[in-house]
Amino acid sequence: MLKMEKKCQQCQAKTDEVDLAFICSFECTFCSTCSDHHDFICPNCSGELLQRPRRTRTPLDVSLDRVKKKLFGK
């Protein structure tokens, strides 16, 4: 599961789960302004910064559904 950081690692701008943010393969998190400033290359590891997926459900909801499917086959 991706670690969804709540702020940009450079400028500390808010990057909550519903906000546009970019991550590298090491899950470094940056806002769109900082990502653009670095040409979408992570300043920490030189990896590509890609748009972070947005969650429509909480991890707890997903886990509960998986347990219900295992127990009740639904």
Q: In what order do the strands lie in the sheet with 50-51?
A: 29-31, 21-23, 50-51
Q: Alpha-carbon distance 36 to 62, whole Å?
A: 32
Lookup: tokens for 24:
């590298």
Percentage, residues of the chain above pLDDT 90: 58
Residue type, 63: S
Using pLDDT thresholds of 50, 70 and 90, give the confidence band for residue 74: low
More confidently predicted of 6 and 17: 6
Alpha-carbon 59 to chain mean position: 13
More confidently predicted of 35 and 74: 35
Residue 1 DSSP class: -
